[in-house]
Copies of this chain bind each other. A is one copy, B any other.
Amino acid sequence: MFYSTKIEIETDEREVRDITDSIKSAVSESGVEEGFCLVFSPHTTAGLTINEEERGLKEDLLEKFERLVPAMNEYRHNRGAEDNAHSHIKDVLAGPDHTIPVEGGELALGTWQSVLFIETDGPRRRTVKLSLLGE
């Protein structure tokens, strides 16, 4: 059994957005009882992670990413019209794809886990692809 859908979001300049509820709804609609839920960012300057939804932590994460990959460094990618090399590299560190087990018709996240969309090159309209495969 395969099911796919999309989440559309409008982001701020930089933010970490909890998209867990939309994913849970998609799992319910899919009818998949046991299988995998693939969450995929089709963008190159916005990624995904799975961690705790807590306001301070989300700011810590953006600040650490900025410390590791500063927007204002010299980048070859920025020699033309672009200025978002840092966002591309932050996306590589978070990763664009994460797969979560589905058990008993539900997303099998741990107690403190949420699926978090990481925008570092907004504001933009973004899409997250959800694909469910299983029984």
**Interface positions of A (Cβ within 8 A of B):** 2, 4, 34-36, 38, 40-44, 49-52, 54-57, 59-61, 64, 68-69, 75-80, 85, 88-89, 91-101, 103, 108-113, 129, 131, 133-135
Contact = CB atoms under 8 A, between A and B. Distances in A.
Contacts of A75: 56-57, 60
Nearest to A54: B77
Q: Which 8 A-B residue pairs are closest in the complex by CB-CB distance?
A: A42-B110, A56-B76, A57-B77, A2-B34, A101-B131, A56-B77, A44-B52, A60-B75
A131 B95 CA distance: 19
Nearest to A114: B44
Contacts of A80: 56
A60 B36 contact: no
B94 A97 contact: no
B113 A4 contact: no
B89 A60 contact: yes
Nearest to A129: B101
Given A51-B88, A77-B54, A91-B51, A38 B133 contact: no
Contact of A42 (B36, B43, B113, B133): B113
A113 B38 CA distance: 17
Given A54-B77, A88-B52, A101-B131, A93 B93 contact: yes
